[in-house]
Chain A
Amino acid sequence: MTMTLIETITVGSGGAASIEFTGIANDLGQDLQVVLSARGSGGTQAAVTFNSDTGSNYSYVRLRGSGSSVLSQSGTTTSIEAGGVVPTSYTADTFSSCSFYVSNYAATAAKSISIETTTENNDTSSFIFMQAAGYSQTAAISSIKLANSSFVEHTTASLYAIS
Protein backbone atom coordinates (compact mmCIF):
# COMPACT_ATOMS: atom_id res chain seq x y z
CA MET A 1 0.00 0.00 0.00
CA THR A 2 1.21 3.48 -0.82
CA MET A 3 -0.11 6.58 0.92
CA THR A 4 0.55 9.78 -1.00
CA LEU A 5 -0.06 13.27 0.34
CA ILE A 6 -2.04 15.21 -2.26
CA GLU A 7 -2.50 18.53 -0.45
CA THR A 8 -2.73 20.09 3.00
CA ILE A 9 -4.94 23.06 3.84
CA THR A 10 -4.05 25.22 6.84
CA VAL A 11 -6.60 27.76 8.02
CA GLY A 12 -5.14 31.22 8.40
CA SER A 13 -5.90 34.10 10.75
CA GLY A 14 -9.57 35.00 10.87
CA GLY A 15 -10.65 31.38 10.54
CA ALA A 16 -12.78 29.76 7.86
CA ALA A 17 -16.30 28.39 7.76
CA SER A 18 -15.34 25.50 5.52
CA ILE A 19 -12.43 23.72 3.91
CA GLU A 20 -12.84 22.26 0.44
CA PHE A 21 -10.79 20.02 -1.80
CA THR A 22 -12.05 20.38 -5.35
CA GLY A 23 -10.87 19.08 -8.72
CA ILE A 24 -10.02 15.64 -7.32
CA ALA A 25 -8.91 13.52 -10.28
CA ASN A 26 -10.31 10.00 -10.51
CA ASP A 27 -6.92 8.37 -10.98
CA LEU A 28 -5.13 9.33 -7.76
CA GLY A 29 -5.41 5.82 -6.36
CA GLN A 30 -7.92 3.30 -5.08
CA ASP A 31 -9.05 5.14 -1.93
CA LEU A 32 -8.86 8.56 -0.29
CA GLN A 33 -8.08 9.47 3.28
CA VAL A 34 -8.58 12.84 4.95
CA VAL A 35 -6.75 13.64 8.18
CA LEU A 36 -8.19 16.58 10.07
CA SER A 37 -6.82 18.45 13.09
CA ALA A 38 -9.43 21.04 13.95
CA ARG A 39 -10.80 23.48 16.47
CA GLY A 40 -13.93 25.54 15.83
CA SER A 41 -16.73 27.66 17.22
CA GLY A 42 -19.46 25.46 15.76
CA GLY A 43 -19.37 22.54 18.18
CA THR A 44 -17.75 19.16 17.78
CA GLN A 45 -18.94 18.40 14.27
CA ALA A 46 -17.25 18.73 10.93
CA ALA A 47 -20.01 18.24 8.38
CA VAL A 48 -18.65 16.32 5.40
CA THR A 49 -20.25 16.48 1.97
CA PHE A 50 -19.09 15.17 -1.40
CA ASN A 51 -19.51 16.72 -4.85
CA SER A 52 -21.46 19.70 -3.36
CA ASP A 53 -24.28 17.23 -2.71
CA THR A 54 -26.54 18.33 0.18
CA GLY A 55 -29.28 15.82 -0.53
CA SER A 56 -30.26 13.08 1.92
CA ASN A 57 -27.71 10.72 0.42
CA TYR A 58 -25.57 10.05 3.45
CA SER A 59 -26.15 7.35 6.06
CA TYR A 60 -24.31 6.47 9.22
CA VAL A 61 -24.00 4.17 12.19
CA ARG A 62 -21.85 5.47 15.01
CA LEU A 63 -20.76 5.11 18.60
CA ARG A 64 -20.25 8.34 20.47
CA GLY A 65 -18.65 8.48 23.91
CA SER A 66 -18.48 11.69 25.94
CA GLY A 67 -16.67 10.54 29.07
CA SER A 68 -19.93 10.10 30.95
CA SER A 69 -22.28 8.51 28.45
CA VAL A 70 -22.26 6.40 25.30
CA LEU A 71 -24.71 6.78 22.47
CA SER A 72 -25.32 4.48 19.53
CA GLN A 73 -26.84 6.43 16.66
CA SER A 74 -27.85 5.81 13.08
CA GLY A 75 -29.72 7.62 10.36
CA THR A 76 -29.82 9.20 6.93
CA THR A 77 -28.73 12.82 6.64
CA THR A 78 -27.67 15.60 4.28
CA SER A 79 -24.04 15.39 5.39
CA ILE A 80 -21.80 13.12 7.44
CA GLU A 81 -21.08 14.47 10.89
CA ALA A 82 -17.46 13.44 11.25
CA GLY A 83 -17.29 14.77 14.80
CA GLY A 84 -13.76 15.95 14.26
CA VAL A 85 -13.68 19.39 15.85
CA VAL A 86 -12.63 20.62 19.30
CA PRO A 87 -15.10 23.34 20.34
CA THR A 88 -13.70 26.65 21.56
CA SER A 89 -15.17 26.00 25.03
CA TYR A 90 -12.55 23.27 25.50
CA THR A 91 -9.00 23.71 26.81
CA ALA A 92 -7.21 26.48 24.94
CA ASP A 93 -5.08 25.59 21.94
CA THR A 94 -6.20 21.95 21.79
CA PHE A 95 -7.18 20.41 18.47
CA SER A 96 -8.96 17.24 17.40
CA SER A 97 -7.61 14.14 15.75
CA CYS A 98 -9.92 12.94 12.99
CA SER A 99 -9.41 10.58 10.10
CA PHE A 100 -11.90 9.43 7.52
CA TYR A 101 -11.31 6.87 4.83
CA VAL A 102 -13.25 6.74 1.56
CA SER A 103 -13.09 3.41 -0.22
CA ASN A 104 -13.19 3.18 -4.04
CA TYR A 105 -13.81 6.90 -4.39
CA ALA A 106 -13.81 6.82 -8.19
CA ALA A 107 -15.97 3.72 -8.60
CA THR A 108 -19.40 3.95 -10.23
CA ALA A 109 -21.02 2.62 -7.08
CA ALA A 110 -22.07 3.81 -3.65
CA LYS A 111 -19.13 4.74 -1.42
CA SER A 112 -18.33 3.47 2.06
CA ILE A 113 -16.57 5.65 4.59
CA SER A 114 -15.04 4.86 7.98
CA ILE A 115 -14.33 7.59 10.51
CA GLU A 116 -12.37 7.76 13.75
CA THR A 117 -12.29 10.90 15.85
CA THR A 118 -11.12 12.10 19.22
CA THR A 119 -11.39 15.54 20.76
CA GLU A 120 -9.04 16.88 23.42
CA ASN A 121 -10.08 18.57 26.66
CA ASN A 122 -8.52 18.93 30.10
CA ASP A 123 -11.85 18.07 31.76
CA THR A 124 -14.08 15.05 32.38
CA SER A 125 -15.98 15.71 29.16
CA SER A 126 -14.46 14.97 25.76
CA PHE A 127 -15.53 12.92 22.78
CA ILE A 128 -14.64 9.88 20.77
CA PHE A 129 -16.50 8.81 17.64
CA MET A 130 -16.34 5.55 15.72
CA GLN A 131 -18.44 5.65 12.61
CA ALA A 132 -19.36 3.69 9.52
CA ALA A 133 -20.97 5.85 6.87
CA GLY A 134 -22.23 5.55 3.33
CA TYR A 135 -22.68 7.86 0.37
CA SER A 136 -25.35 6.47 -1.90
CA GLN A 137 -24.44 8.27 -5.12
CA THR A 138 -22.49 6.53 -7.88
CA ALA A 139 -20.51 9.41 -9.38
CA ALA A 140 -16.79 9.53 -8.65
CA ILE A 141 -15.95 11.83 -5.76
CA SER A 142 -14.39 14.97 -7.20
CA SER A 143 -14.77 17.32 -4.24
CA ILE A 144 -14.83 17.06 -0.46
CA LYS A 145 -16.14 19.80 1.81
CA LEU A 146 -15.61 20.00 5.57
CA ALA A 147 -17.80 22.60 7.29
CA ASN A 148 -18.05 24.00 10.80
CA SER A 149 -19.48 27.29 11.96
CA SER A 150 -15.90 28.50 12.03
CA PHE A 151 -12.65 26.56 11.95
CA VAL A 152 -10.03 28.52 13.85
CA GLU A 153 -6.53 29.43 12.72
CA HIS A 154 -4.06 26.50 12.57
CA THR A 155 -6.77 23.96 11.76
CA THR A 156 -5.35 21.63 9.12
CA ALA A 157 -6.82 19.12 6.70
CA SER A 158 -4.70 16.81 4.58
CA LEU A 159 -5.89 14.72 1.65
CA TYR A 160 -4.09 11.46 0.91
CA ALA A 161 -4.45 9.03 -1.96
CA ILE A 162 -4.17 5.34 -1.14
CA SER A 163 -3.03 2.97 -3.84
Chain B
Amino acid sequence: MSETPVKVVVDLSKPKGQRESIIELTQAEIDEREVMATEAEAQRLVDEQAKADAEATRQSGLDKLIALGLTEAEALALVGA
Protein backbone atom coordinates (compact mmCIF):
# COMPACT_ATOMS: atom_id res chain seq x y z
CA MET B 1 0.00 0.00 0.00
CA SER B 2 1.32 3.41 -0.95
CA GLU B 3 2.10 5.92 1.84
CA THR B 4 1.05 8.84 -0.35
CA PRO B 5 -2.75 9.10 -0.72
CA VAL B 6 -4.07 8.44 -4.19
CA LYS B 7 -6.97 9.31 -6.45
CA VAL B 8 -8.80 7.07 -8.89
CA VAL B 9 -9.22 8.70 -12.29
CA VAL B 10 -11.26 7.29 -15.14
CA ASP B 11 -10.58 9.01 -18.47
CA LEU B 12 -13.64 8.39 -20.61
CA SER B 13 -11.89 9.61 -23.74
CA LYS B 14 -9.85 6.39 -23.73
CA PRO B 15 -11.03 2.93 -24.82
CA LYS B 16 -12.59 0.68 -22.21
CA GLY B 17 -9.99 -1.27 -20.29
CA GLN B 18 -7.47 1.57 -20.57
CA ARG B 19 -9.38 4.26 -18.72
CA GLU B 20 -8.53 3.82 -15.04
CA SER B 21 -5.43 5.29 -13.41
CA ILE B 22 -4.35 5.35 -9.77
CA ILE B 23 -2.45 8.62 -9.27
CA GLU B 24 -0.64 9.90 -6.18
CA LEU B 25 -1.95 13.23 -4.89
CA THR B 26 0.02 16.43 -5.33
CA GLN B 27 0.98 18.40 -2.22
CA ALA B 28 -1.80 20.90 -2.95
CA GLU B 29 -4.33 18.06 -3.09
CA ILE B 30 -2.96 16.63 0.17
CA ASP B 31 -3.37 20.04 1.82
CA GLU B 32 -6.95 20.27 0.53
CA ARG B 33 -7.63 16.80 1.93
CA GLU B 34 -6.39 17.83 5.36
CA VAL B 35 -8.69 20.85 5.33
CA MET B 36 -11.60 18.53 4.51
CA ALA B 37 -10.69 16.24 7.42
CA THR B 38 -10.62 19.22 9.79
CA GLU B 39 -14.00 20.41 8.53
CA ALA B 40 -15.42 16.90 8.90
CA GLU B 41 -14.31 16.71 12.52
CA ALA B 42 -15.84 20.12 13.21
CA GLN B 43 -19.12 18.96 11.64
CA ARG B 44 -19.06 15.78 13.74
CA LEU B 45 -18.75 17.86 16.90
CA VAL B 46 -21.65 20.09 15.80
CA ASP B 47 -23.78 17.01 15.18
CA GLU B 48 -22.93 15.50 18.56
CA GLN B 49 -23.82 18.77 20.29
CA ALA B 50 -27.14 18.99 18.42
CA LYS B 51 -27.95 15.45 19.49
CA ALA B 52 -27.07 16.24 23.14
CA ASP B 53 -29.12 19.45 23.03
CA ALA B 54 -32.16 17.60 21.66
CA GLU B 55 -31.93 14.97 24.41
CA ALA B 56 -31.53 17.65 27.09
CA THR B 57 -34.61 19.49 25.80
CA ARG B 58 -36.61 16.28 25.79
CA GLN B 59 -35.57 15.40 29.35
CA SER B 60 -36.34 18.94 30.55
CA GLY B 61 -39.85 18.69 29.10
CA LEU B 62 -40.32 15.29 30.68
CA ASP B 63 -39.23 16.56 34.09
CA LYS B 64 -41.64 19.50 33.90
CA LEU B 65 -44.57 17.25 33.02
CA ILE B 66 -43.76 14.99 35.98
CA ALA B 67 -43.51 18.06 38.22
CA LEU B 68 -47.05 18.98 37.12
CA GLY B 69 -48.30 15.69 38.52
CA LEU B 70 -48.17 13.29 35.58
CA THR B 71 -46.72 9.84 36.18
CA GLU B 72 -43.54 9.05 34.25
CA ALA B 73 -45.52 6.65 32.04
CA GLU B 74 -48.05 9.39 31.24
CA ALA B 75 -45.30 11.90 30.49
CA LEU B 76 -43.47 9.43 28.27
CA ALA B 77 -46.71 8.72 26.41
CA LEU B 78 -46.95 12.43 25.61
CA VAL B 79 -43.36 13.06 24.55
CA GLY B 80 -42.61 9.64 23.11
CA ALA B 81 -40.56 6.92 24.79
B-binding residues in A (CB < 8 A): 6-7, 9, 11-25, 41-45, 47, 66-69, 87, 89, 124-125, 147-150, 159
Return the contact of A87 from the options B7, B22, B40, B55 (Cβ within 8 A).
B40
DSSP class of A's interface residues: helix, strand, loop or mixed?
A: loop
> For window 1-56 of chain B, which residues contact chain A by CB distance below 8 Å?
1-2, 5-14, 19-20, 22, 25, 29, 32-34, 36-37, 39-41, 43-44, 47, 50-51, 53-55
Contacts A18-B29, A20-B7 known; 12 new A-B pairs at CB < 8 A? A6-B12, A9-B8, A9-B10, A11-B8, A17-B5, A17-B25, A21-B10, A21-B12, A22-B11, A43-B37, A44-B40, A89-B44
Q: Which residues on the B side are within 8 Å of A22 (C-beta)?
A: 9-13
Return chain B residues, CB-CB under 8 Å to A7.
10, 12, 19
Contact indicator B40/A19 (Cβ below 8 Å): no
Query: A66 and B13: CB pair below 8 A?
Result: no
How many A-B pairs with Cβ below 8 Å?
99
- Quick check: B51 and A69 within 8 Å, CB to CB? yes
A residues less than 8 Å from B10 (CB atoms): 7, 9, 20-22
